[in-house]
Chain A
Amino acid sequence: MTTMQIFIYIEPTEEKIDPMVRQIAVKARNMGFSTIRGIAVGNHLKGKEEQLSGFLDELLVVDAPSGSEYSTEIIGNVLTDLLGSAGPSLLFLSFTHQGMELGPVVAYRLAVPLMTACSDFKFSDVKGEVVRLIHAAKVEVTLEVNSERGAVLSVQKGALRDIETEGFGALSNAPPVRSVPWKETYGTAKSQVVGIIGENLGEGEDIGKARILVSVGRGLGDPDNLPVAQELAAQLGGMLSCSRPVVDMGWLPARHQVGLSGKSVSPTVYLALAISGQANHLAGMETSKIIIAVNKDPQAPIFQLAHYGVIDDIHQFMPQMIEALKLSKE
């Protein structure tokens, strides 16, 4: 049994707690770590503690002023203080917007190694091994980490999806909650959150409600090709969505964007056309029932998540699929 402490930072979510919290806890327990604690800043977990039953030994809830859950300056101060006073520990974060920002802050202040975007990891008390993707997810690197003084790890969304958390029975009740009193030193000195702006759906369709999504990526090549994709979506009775570069280039409005920065969707069918499959996009559509990917690059990372794959040029594939659909309706 290893003695190093494990902390998992739990981000605020509007709905259920990120399943990755439970997946990290199960993986850490299986590696032999005996003490696993969750940390939440503010009371955003109130009423959701049951979702952590069986996974955590203790839940630390920092008694922070309302709105603190979105101040990464405050959360960084809290995590540094809690980890610093706990002794050598491993801190796990999700590789999300918050996790990307908090990981380097805490690692720098504690002077411990930072492993970002981990797709796999194993640790003992003094060292660990981490696997992560580099070079647009086309190369995998294995890193050896000296964790004697602790380490900070952010885990790529979806990386632990194969870890079974159902029926995990290490602990049966909701974790005991320990209230951590607010300290003046947790407060902000350099930044102030003045507002949170919700998702802007505009007047268009809500892609979150679609049963079929036809989703296009950078490989669409030109906005002039959008009408073909739109017609395909219409012929299938679905809606059009896209990956980030399509929005960045101004081809479609942000309400069509699927991914970490955009919308998380779970349609019955997700038809990914010329989407390479970077992790930020996959995080937003991995729970789709059936994912069909069409891409002319056989090495595209999307094929590692999709249920079905077609190696083809979408500029040939889309019009012929439209024709086939029209014929079938005659």
Chain B
Amino acid sequence: MKVAVCCKAVPLDVGPERVEVTGGQIKTTSRELFLNEVDEYAMESALALKKKYGVETWALTVGSLQSQEALYVALAKGLDQVRRVNGDTDRPEVVAAGLSEALKELKPDLVLTGVQSVDWMGGEVGVFLSEALGMALGFAVVEIVELGDESVQVLKEIGGGRKAEIILKTPAVLCIQSGIQPVQYVSMMRRKKMRGIPIEVAGELRPGSLPASFVGLSAYHPVSVAAPQERTHAEMITGERPELISKVLEIIRKNV
């Protein structure tokens, strides 16, 4: 049985001064990329399945050479194989199109992704994959209860502290929620060691010639980026700390 984790390398601490719209794409000037936090939980889930069921684990990413950092973390954690789809895009439907082509070749029984990335924050990619691959979908999965030959039973969040227990036919895509497994620490030394391993490229992004099923999704383009417009802002309390605290306590006492 084969489990593929789709992961993403993202820039951290990006403000408006480091983002621009160029050629219909949103570009950041950040050089350093890190594994998207929720995708690390997807990797941990794959490793837990490897331990319990002996599955073969793969990690895939879409991006430039820099994005291989996500795959080095995967290797350092103990995933078996990694592949990169070459290209550079901020658009979720293009990422999903690239991944779906690679996944069609790989034919996994389960595809795991983090529920959303910290850069685009939309949560679309895993769902697009389930549609493009014709797979069942489990979204915001907080527990993989049991993996069988033809089905997987999971718990998924449905909001307000409630969960739904669902059985999905496999193959299936599971969008993994943060906190599903404890994250195992990987030392910098071990990660650096992985950087010597050549990463196989599993295809090229073709943003200009998307598969037909993704074309309609692409009928938009970014116009501008800016600091978030502040429709409202807190009344800021200033002063030395004792004064700050005194003012905060006064506000609390007045209202309670």
Contact = CB atoms under 8 A, between A and B. Distances in A.
Contact of A324 (B13, B220, B246): B246
B128 A104 contact: yes
B171 to A, nearest CB: 10
Interface in A229-247: 236-237, 244-245, 247
B188 interface: no
Interface in A59-75: 70, 72-73
Contacts of B128: 104, 108
A142 B244 contact: no
A308 B252 CA distance: 11
A244 B162 CA distance: 15
Given A133-B121, A312-B244, A97 B140 contact: yes
A262 B162 CA distance: 8
B158 A70 contact: yes
A316 B241 contact: yes
A129 B165 CA distance: 38
B121 A190 contact: no
B227 A140 contact: yes
B178 A245 contact: yes
Given A194-B165, A320-B241, A143 B223 contact: yes
Nearest to A100: B123
A115 interface: yes
A110 interface: yes
B137 interface: yes
A306 B228 contact: no
A113 B165 contact: no
B6 to A, nearest CB: 14
Contacts of B52: none
Contacts of A98: 158-159
B215 interface: yes
Interface in A302-330: 303-312, 316-317, 320-321, 324-325, 328
A144 B172 CA distance: 33
Given A134-B119, A138-B16, A305 B220 contact: no
A308 B140 contact: no
Nearest to A263: B161
A115 B218 CA distance: 10
Nearest to A156: B121
Interface string A183-220: 00000011111111111100000000001100000000
Interface stretch (A20-28, A173-181, A253-261): A253-261
A284 to B, nearest CB: 9
A236 B252 contact: yes
Nearest to A211: B256
B241 A139 contact: no
A115 to B, nearest CB: 7
Interface in A95-127: 96-98, 100-101, 103-105, 107-117
Contacts of A269: 251-252, 255-256
Contacts of A171: none
A101 B127 contact: yes
Nearest to B253: A328
B131 to A, nearest CB: 4
B15 A139 contact: yes
A301 B165 CA distance: 34
A212 B252 contact: yes
Contacts of A70: 158, 164
B248 A310 contact: yes
Interface residues of A, number: 103
Nearest to A299: B15
Given A111-B213, A190-B136, A311 B166 contact: no
B179 A244 contact: yes
Interface string B130-173: 11100111111000000000000101111111111111110010
Given A138-B15, A138-B16, A311-B236, A320 B245 contact: yes
A146 B218 CA distance: 9
A99 to B, nearest CB: 9
B249 A134 contact: no
Given A109-B131, A193-B166, A101 B255 contact: no
A207 B168 CA distance: 34
Contacts of B19: 134-135, 139
Contacts of B216: 107, 110-113, 149
B159 A261 contact: yes
Contact of A308 (B159, B229, B248): B248
B122 interface: yes
A193 B139 CA distance: 13
Nearest to A293: B234
A142 B223 contact: yes
B166 A192 contact: yes
Given A114-B93, A308-B251, A316-B241, 8 more contacts: A100-B122, A139-B15, A139-B19, A141-B26, A190-B135, A193-B165, A271-B252, A292-B251
- When A and B form their complex, which 9 residue pairs have the shortest distance between CB atoms, in order from nearest? A111-B216, A309-B234, A248-B179, A199-B161, A190-B136, A116-B122, A104-B127, A306-B234, A146-B219
26 contacts: A72-B137, A100-B140, A101-B139, A108-B127, A112-B219, A116-B121, A137-B228, A139-B14, A140-B16, A140-B228, A142-B224, A142-B226, A145-B219, A146-B220, A151-B219, A190-B172, A199-B160, A212-B252, A261-B159, A290-B252, A293-B234, A294-B248, A307-B234, A309-B236, A317-B245, A324-B245
